Every structure is written in C-alpha cells, then in structure tokens.
Structure 1
Amino acid sequence: MKSVWIIFWILFILLILIIMICSINWKMNIRIEYSPTQFVLHIKISWLFIQIVNKTIQLQQLETYEAHSFDCLSDQLQKMYRLLKEINAIAKAILQHIVIQQWQWYTKGGTGDAAVTGTLSGFVWGIKGVITSWIMGKSKQSCKSDLQVQPLFQQRYIEVYFSCMVSIKITQAITSFIQVLRIVDMQTKQS
C-alpha cells in the first residue's frame, strides 16, 4: 500500500511539472545588428529564470562599404512589406499567441545627398510604422514600439538595430505550429 502512495505522489509531481512547463511563458529575445561591416543575429530563449539558448550568429561579414547604404534600405523595407501581405495567414497564426514585451527598431543612415536623405528618412519612417503597426495589430501587444530614424545628411552610411522580446506559452506555440502547417499544406495544394 505504501508503494502505491509513492507512485501516486511521483505521478502527481510529474503532472504538476508538466502543467508548469506548459503554462508558464517562454521568453525569446531577438536582436539584429546591421552595419557596413557586420550583420549579426543574437537570440536568447529563457523559461522562468533559466536561460536555455544564448546564441550569437554572424549572418554575413560585409566587405563593401559603399554597396550598403541608406537608399538600399527603402527597397528592402518595401519588399518586406509586400512579403507581409503574402504571408498574412501564416503571420496571423503565429502572432495571435505571441505577447510582444519589447520592440525597438533604430535606423541611422544617409545617401550623401541631403535632399535624398531627407526624403528617404520620411519614407523609412512611414514603412517602419506600417510594418510595426501591422505586427502589433496581429499580436498580443503589451508594450509601446520604439522607432527611430536618424538621418545622416552628409554621409553615405547605414546602420540598423532591431530588438524585440516576445513571450509565448509552449501549448500556444504548438498550436501555432500546427496552424502554420495546415496553412502551408493548403497553399501548396492550391498551387
């Protein structure tokens, strides 16, 4: 009879641990740094106070200083906006369960021509605002976004810093993953 109680308590403790794992938020911090000399991705994933992943990935070592400038950024942001329209269903399935706790997106750059830099700065502000509001509208937002564009009127330069912290429960992550698989499967069958 005593062994039955021991087994019962072990199973009860295991059940409590499984419930804790599934119900407590997992936090993910993503930071991207882009400058003329580097393109780096930092990822941290933690559960409770335990850091599970802390990884820095050098995405690309950039050699050319002139090829990456502020005027290229507007084209890249437009492509990103069009991509968001195309993946609307997938993004909605992922973002509806995510709580955004931090959102920072800083851009510093110039084209070397003050008039073009000023025009592009306004355009970059607008596109960043549209992309950010689209993402915030699809997710569970618990923070204000921090967007900045610093024009450098006399320089040909670009630097981008993006950082966001999101949290999600593991059960919701699994649900989102299943929804994405269904959407992708439906899209491949249609094409």
Structure 2
Amino acid sequence: MHSMYLILILIAGIVLIFLFFLQSKWAIQVDYQFPDKQVLQISVFLYRWCVIKEKCLRLPRFDQTEMEKSYLDYYKLLRRSKQQLLKELRLPSLLQPFHVLDFKWRTRGGTGNAFTTAVFNGTIWAMKGWLIGYLGQYLKFSKNPQIQVQPDFKNNRLEMDFSCMISFRLGKAIVGIIRALKMKEVRK
C-alpha cells in the first residue's frame, strides 16, 4: 500500500515538473558583430537565471571584395526569392508565442564610390524596414526596434552590430511549432 502511494507521489511530482517546464519563461540573447568577431554569441535564460552563458558559434569569414561585387546581385535575388520563402515558412504560427524584449541592429558601410554606397545603404534600409515591418505583424515588441544605417562614402567596408533578446513560454512555443508542422502537412 505504501509503495502505491509512493509511486503516485512520484508520478504527480514528475507531472508537476513537466508542467513547470512547459509554463516556464525562457529568454534568448543573441549578439553578432561583423567583421570584428564573426562569432554569434547566444545566452539562454530560464526566468532570470542564466542557463547557457555566451555559447559562441564561429561563422565563416566573408571576403570583402566578393561582397562588394555582389551587393546588387544579392538584392535582385532577394526580391525574387522573398515571396517564395514567405510562402514556405508558416511564420504566424511560429512567431506568435515570442516577445521581443530588445532589438538593436546597426550597419555601417560603403563601397568607396558614392553612387554604389547610396544604392547599397538604401537597399539595407529597405531590407531592414521590410523585415521589421513584417515581423512586427506577428511579434510583440516591448520597445521600439533600434535600427540604424550609416553610409561611409570614403571607405570600402561593411560593419554590423546585431543584438536581440526574445522571451517565450516553452509550452506555447512547442504548440506553435506543432501548428506550423500541421499546416505544412495539410497543404501537401
């Protein structure tokens, strides 16, 4: 009889711990600097406790001259593939449980030529504005996103600082992923 009570208490404890983790509030901090570090730093928090502190992911290095040549080609490719990408992703279901606590994205760059620098910076502004507008439809921002594009007409370089912190409840995120996967299966 005592062993049955012990098993029931153990099962109830496991269920409570499982429910706690489903309702737990998680936050993820992402930091990226280009070309200084080219390392993606990720920190994960459970409530206010840091679970993973600055996990660094090394990203491949980009050649500056190749980037300069492909600015306009990349923009043309992005315009063509943007709509197809959005049709494949089920962003509303995936992004609904996420709250953006902090969003900062600063870009400074130029090609050394005033005309191409202006085109490049205008393209960056357009991409950032479109992305923030699109994500703003589905995400809740606690503060206004801080985006900045600074042209550098004299130098041939590209610098970027990106920092973002999102929070979510684990159970709601799992439900959003399941909905997105079900929607994809239904459309097939």
When normalised by structure 2's length, the TM-score is: 0.80
Deviations 1:14-52 (CA, angstroms, capped at 9, x unpaired) = 5544333222311011223222x7532222211123323
Q: Is the 8 Å Cα contact of residues 38 and 61 (structure 1) preserved in structure 2?
A: no
Distance 1:117 1:134, change over 3 A: same
Distance 1:8 1:59, change over 3 A: same
Distance 1:81 1:97, change over 3 A: farther
Which segments of 5 or more consecutive residues in structure 1 lack a partner in the other structure?
Answer: none
Q: Is the 8 Å Cα contact of residues 103 and 163 (structure 2) preserved in structure 1?
A: yes
Q: Give 1:21's aligned residue.
A: 21
Q: How many residues in Structure 1 have an aligned counterpart in Structure 2?
A: 186
Q: CA RMSD in A?
A: 3.0
- The worse-fitting range, judged by mean Cα deviation, of 156-165 and 142-151 is 156-165
Give the secondary-structure state (helix, strand or coil) at the position aligned to 1:68. Answer: helix
Deviations 1:122-167 (CA, angstroms, capped at 9, x unpaired) = 3321221111111121112222100000111011111122221111
Structure 1 vs Structure 2: percent identity of aligned residues? 23
Q: Give 2:108's aligned residue.
A: 108
Distance 2:106 2:69 in 1: 13
Q: Is the 8 Å Cα contact of residues 33 and 160 (structure 2) preserved in structure 1?
A: yes
Residue 120 (structure 1) aligned with residue 120 (structure 2)? yes
Deviations 1:59-93 (CA, angstroms, capped at 9, x unpaired) = 1034x332224962883596289436633551111
Q: Give 1:30's aligned residue.
A: 30
Distance 1:131 1:75 in 2: 16
Which segments of 5 or more consecutive residues in structure 2 lack a partner in the other structure?
Answer: none
Cα distance, 1:184 vs structure 2: 3.1
The letter for the 2-side match of 1:86 is L
Distance 1:171 1:77 in 2: 39
